[in-house]
Amino acid sequence: MYLGRIVEIAPARDLYTAPKHPYSEALLSAVPIPDPAVRRRRIVLEGDVPNPIRPPSGCHFHPRCPHAMPRCTTEAPLLRQVGTGRMAACHLND
């Protein structure tokens, strides 16, 4: 969830190995790996979390999303099926 909206639903294994929403991907990149020899590309989101009382128009995540496109600023993405047992709310999956 991001600012009160569900952004992705998936079986745990699918979510951890191949997230379909940029916020899920950023969250998972912050999970520590117990093996110090293994490196992961950390995704650091820019900007501040918007005010949840007055969220941004369109996709609530667009001000911080590294993949935001003009459509994201005006049109909220629908939570739709993106695979077997998977749903995501992101225009990248259209």
Task: Sketch the domain layout of the chain as residue ranges.
Answer: 8-93
8-state DSSP, 23? H
Entry pTM: 0.90
Q: What is the mean pLDDT of the chain?
A: 94
Give the mean pLDDT of 19-30: 96
pLDDT exceeds cutoff 90 at 1: yes
CB-based burial of residue 30 (10 Å sphere; 0-12 exposed, 13-18 middle, 19+ buried)? Answer: exposed
Angle ∠(5,41,55) on CA atoms, nearest 5: 20
Note the pLDDT of residue 36: 87
pLDDT in tens, 25-70: 999 999 988 898 988 889 999 999 999 999 999 999 999 999 999 9
Kind and range of the H or E run holding 71? helix 70-74
**First CA to last CA distance, the chain:** 19
Note the pLDDT of residue 10: 97
Whole-angstrom CA distances from 70 to 9, 13, 41 are 25, 32, 26
